[in-house]
Chains A and B, each alone.
Chain A
Amino acid sequence: MMTSAPSGTHNFKVVLLGEGCVGKTSLLLRYIEDKFNDKHLTTLQATFLNKKLNINGKRINLSIWDTAGQEKFHALGPIYYRNSNGAILVYDITDEDSFVKVKNWVKELKKMLGSDIVLIIAGNKIDLEHERTVPLEEAESYSTMVGAKHYYTSAKLNQGVEELFLDLTREMVDRFEQNSQADVSRTSRVLVVDDETPVQTSCCSGNRST
């Protein structure tokens, strides 16, 4: 009969990070708007969007958080990306600075969240291939080095957007299942940020990191 298994749905949080104007908001809108003819976007739909997926029988509730790219808000990053299962780091292939910024984000995320988070690097605006300034090889080798998948996207032409989110989601599901196998006691992802969370003894969590 109808058993509403509570663990049946994965709830994943994904943040979009990147410099101003690289196309974070555009990517998000492109992904969500896709079919729903909903001209009536409310406030939050541009900053916070939900998408329900069902991949091969696994239910996933994605909540995607757009962030502000302006430099003055940079310090707020940790508030937004904490508890994230995935991060999409966007740069503009015609803007070298935006790629440098991505590298900084990677460093920061690794430091703050360790390997708990799935990283994706997205080179956006490939419709402007002729104006490319970020070398293809550099971007890809860097991504491999830091263990992030690299994608090319164009929010304008709707290229690579869905694939990016789909692969990210699958990766998050895999990661989640690995983790829950590796450490049965960890029912939900606990970020070791504050000292109030019960300290795990080293014998059970010692070889948990991948």
Chain B
Amino acid sequence: MEGAYDEIISDNPFFRDLKNEYTNLFQHCITQSWIICVPRVGILNTRVFTVEDFCAHILVPSDELPETHYSTLTEKQVTVTNKVITLEVTKGLPLQSHILFEETFYTEDFIKYKVWCIESALEPSTTTSDNVVTKDCLLSINDCIDLLWTQAAGRHVLDQIEQNVQIFLKKHSCLPIAISTLREAISELYTLCLQTTLQNRRLREKSKASKHILDNIKLAVESYMQHLLFESLFKTICTSCAYEDSHLNKKIRNMSDIQLRDLDIKKELYHAVPKAKQILSKIDTYSSVLEKILCLKQALNAINKNDNSYNVVLLTADDLLPVFVFLLIKSGLPNWYSQLTYMKEFRFSCVGKGDSDESAFLITTLEAVIEHIQSGALAGPPDPESHYYYDSNLTEENLQSNTQRRSSLTESISTSETNSREETLEYVFELIKANHTEQVQAILEKNQKHLKSIQQNEKSILKFALEESLNNNNDDDDDDDDDSTESEIYQKLCHPLCNCKKCWCKISKNLLKTSPTVTSRDSHGLTPLHVACIHGKAAIVEILLDMGADVNATDLNESIPLHYAASRGHQNALLLLLHSGADINKPNIDKNTPLHLAVNNGHMNCVKALIYFAEHSRKRIIVNCTNESGNTPLHLAAKWGYEGIARLLIENGAEPSRLNKHNKTAFDCAHNLKILQVLKSCTPNLYEYIHITSSDIKTLSCKSDNLEYLKLEKLSVKNSDYVNNPTKTIENLKRIERILQAISYGDVKLACFYLNINYDTFNENTNTVKESLCHPLCECQYCKRKSQSHVSDFDINFSDTNGFTALHYAARFGLEELCKILIHNKADVNCTNRKGQTPLHLAAIYNKTKVISLLLDNGANINAIDVAGNTPLHNASDMGNIGATKELIKYNPDISLLNASERSALDVAKKKVHLTIIDLIEKYSSKL
């Protein structure tokens, strides 16, 4: 790993003295293949070493157990396990020392001997010098900051790096998009940062004394720089990798049903997959390359954790790749290619080492995995039923039961193949998959006829029987006849020709199993039409539809065949279904419509087909419908970076400003500037469509700038009018949606228009209070009418279904002017949304400093807590918003408040390593 300990042994004074001053002893060691232990440089006080010192560090392998047991030349017993040397001492605890590395030496005449560089001396008496670096290995951004802070005895080095970065960002307000140019620019910055760092006297001297320290300092500088730059740097990388990412996403989305067994992954590794997946999907939370690489390493190490029975499963390259492929597919990250590019191109501290370290190996592995997915060498899940087996909370039991189910299925298929007499439903599914159109048709038609004839005799009973057999589970008969053969079934009947309900039930159940028709379903509720759509066999889809297949049959996921055709990108099948009356807006169990699925998997052809079909057949397709997580199709297109699809959706009425359940708009989901531009450029400027005529606008009701008065009035509004506010009609919901949308576009005028606030009057009157009410407390008709006009019409505090008011949005998007207008129109500054957030919370999250002070000046509660117990200061600390934190601190927040995770705002800042914020809060608290 980077930062793993290394030193040049031949420069180590201990080794040098042994070699030069005690030549005989040294030569003897070599000829006897004894192991020489060398305490790492700097650990021993520089003094003259005695022969005893050397003898205590020479290990002679024992005869019986030469791998693990040794004795020193001073006759002490030594054991070695897991790279730790344990030395028995006469008194007290045994002495332990880590083996830092092994170096194999060859002499001129190729005699081999080994040297172990060890962490501490193998003598209890030796005193260690104080010039020791405590951290050997940098494992996080915290370690890096620690190193630079403690080694330089202060913050100044960190500050200087920060300053360099600030200047850099100011100079390059727009970073170059081409990776090579970008890399060059950042590399220059890194060199600069390193130079300024090494101007520090302490650091310079320490790094001169040890190459290891120098390497660590380089790495720390690089990581801290990356940490500071991350936001703008990574966005830029994402933009330049937008094309590759969206293509990769399409590939990954279409394989998202893939199963461990589809990838030939060793069974022994199954148990570790959920843990590894959890670790790996956090990779996007790390800002430095160092941490991202460590994340990869941890994920892979998790795979190899001992299984419960003490056996270490050795992971070879052949095992590693498929597991990693699986993890990548399931991780749900939209920008793997960008992640790779960042790791590959922006490591500067290790130049010259080439590809020779473990980090390079990890990055290359990631690259190989991406290449493997990209190349299309992987087919999607081979079996339709795969869809049902994957559970995002993979557990061992899950996996086991899956494999069991799988094997029983293959058995049934194989038996049906060998035994041609049995044309089971599974067999028909196999035929569909293999595109044997005629055979499918023949079997289904034959059975249908057969069934019809029986049906004519006993219609009602059969119907009952069919129903019974569909709900297998409420079959409380003592006989478990699922697997019984035909002859056995007849033996179980009251009489071979009996017609009673119970017997019918048994016969028809067997009949269904052996004689599938076009309406038959398997245990997942799949009909032949579903299966034909999964595999995109348009010819078979056509036949099945002709035979009367139910085009809107739902399986256990409440998915209709149209869902599958859309999600797998089978345009022909999809069009056939649509023309046969498939429900274009049908939500499945996750509330995904076919449009969601086509978009999610990047199937432009199907998205087009859905939209154009709807247009021509005058069916309405709901472009802005939301799924279980509140995502519209446009959210998905934005997230995965499908530019063409996003454009198409917007042209057909998709609204990028809709919020999903995480309060994210499609803009927020866009992870690169390219897709963001698509979203923005395609969004029509709503303002243009609406011609505001002065007659439509009611005059502004209140023009007072007197804040005290406003506060007073707000209280009274709360107590009286607020209670009888207009009922939440659909009309109002629609209206608030339009208002919020206008706000999200930053269109203050339009928002005012919808709110019935005269924007121009407001503007004129903020300066001149002339035209205001006769007197703040006046009750004359004119004033009364004026002050009530807006309340009666539309409540300014009305919220959408997620509890967002206009003021929330104005605060979130930083529209200071609109905030003023709203507050002047009696908007409640402390209203909360469903998550308990006030407008101040949102302003803190999105770092809208002016809005923050405006809200606080107008009575916003500085210590308001949301449902997670966070105050605005928590939010600002969490996001690293320096401006917001500064602003909030001016208003004396209570910093002792803990959120639901028992963290104060300071804790939050520390966790995210926002140094300036930590500083600000600490300074503030010391003043208290």
Which residue numbers of A lie inside 8 Å of B, CB to CB? 2-6, 8-9, 11-13, 20, 25, 35-44, 46-48, 50-57, 59, 61-63, 65-70, 72-73, 75-76, 79-80, 82-84, 166, 188-189, 196
Contacts and interface: CB of A to CB of B under 8 A. Distances in A.
Contacts of B315: 43-44, 46-47
B107 A188 contact: no
Contacts of B364: 65, 79-80
B368 A76 contact: yes
Given A63-B361, A79-B368, A43 B320 contact: yes
Nearest to B66: A35
Contacts of B362: 44
Interface stretch (B352-360, B432-440, B762-770): B352-360
B354 A188 contact: yes
Contacts of A82: 355
Contacts of B108: 56
B464 interface: no
A80 B363 CA distance: 10
B210 interface: yes
Contacts of A35: 67, 102, 114
A112 to B, nearest CB: 15
B103 interface: yes
Interface string B317-353: 1101100000000000000000000000000000111
Contacts of B304: 42-43
A37 B303 contact: no
A57 B10 contact: yes
A11 B354 contact: yes
A189 B304 CA distance: 34
B106 A53 contact: yes
B589 interface: no
Contacts of A75: 371-372, 375, 377
A37 B107 CA distance: 24
22 contacts: A2-B209, A4-B7, A6-B352, A9-B6, A11-B354, A13-B355, A35-B102, A41-B312, A43-B301, A43-B320, A44-B300, A46-B315, A50-B357, A52-B101, A56-B108, A59-B8, A63-B356, A63-B361, A66-B317, A75-B375, A188-B352, A189-B354
Nearest to A51: B104
B127 interface: no
Contact of A40 (B82, B102, B110): B82
B727 to A, nearest CB: 62
B11 interface: yes
Nearest to A5: B8
B884 interface: no
Contact of B358 (A48, A68, A83, A188): A48
Nearest to A72: B377
A53 B102 CA distance: 9
Contacts of B67: 35, 37
Nearest to A62: B356
B318 A20 contact: yes
B890 to A, nearest CB: 50
A76 B370 CA distance: 10
B738 interface: no
B321 A68 contact: yes
A54 B105 contact: yes
B107 A13 contact: no
Nearest to B300: A43
A4 B11 contact: yes
A53 B317 contact: no
Contacts of A76: 321, 368, 371-372
B83 interface: yes
Nearest to A20: B318
A127 to B, nearest CB: 21
Contact of B316 (A36, A54, A57, A66): A66
Instruction: Name, among B104, B107, B210, B360, the residue most crowded by chain A CB atoms within 10 Å (CB to CB).
Output: B104
A37 B316 contact: no
Contacts of B321: 68, 73, 76
A43 B372 contact: no
Given A2-B11, A42-B301, A69-B318, A55 B68 contact: no
B493 to A, nearest CB: 52
B317 A63 contact: no
Nearest to B13: A2
Nearest to B116: A36
Contacts of B693: none
Interface string B40-84: 010000000000000000000000000110000000000011110
A13 B372 contact: no
B180 interface: yes
B314 interface: yes
A22 B664 CA distance: 53
A83 B318 contact: no
B297 interface: yes
Contacts of A11: 352-354, 356-357
B9 interface: yes
A6 to B, nearest CB: 7
Interface string B413-438: 00000000000000000000000000
A38 B368 CA distance: 29
B218 to A, nearest CB: 12
Contacts of A63: 355-358, 360-361
Contacts of B107: 56
A151 B214 CA distance: 40
B367 interface: yes
A36 B41 CA distance: 22
Given A12-B356, A42-B301, A36 B375 contact: no
B318 A70 contact: yes
A46 B316 contact: yes
A68 B301 contact: no
Nearest to A28: B316
B446 interface: no
Contacts of A55: 105-106
A191 B318 CA distance: 27
A66 B320 CA distance: 11
B38 to A, nearest CB: 12
Nearest to A189: B354
B110 to A, nearest CB: 8
A5 B823 CA distance: 68
* 7 pairs of A and B residues whose beta carbons are closest in the complex: A11-B356, A43-B304, A4-B211, A37-B67, A48-B361, A83-B355, A68-B317
A177 to B, nearest CB: 16
Nearest to A34: B104
B545 to A, nearest CB: 38
Contacts of A73: 318, 321, 368, 372
Given A35-B67, A41-B314, A44-B361, A79 B356 contact: no
Interface in B272-304: 297, 300-301, 303-304
Nearest to B276: A43
Contacts of B365: 47
Contact of B106 (A4, A5, A166): A166
B312 A54 contact: no
B323 to A, nearest CB: 10
Contacts of A54: 9-10, 103-106, 115
Nearest to B113: A54
A68 to B, nearest CB: 4
Contacts of A62: 356
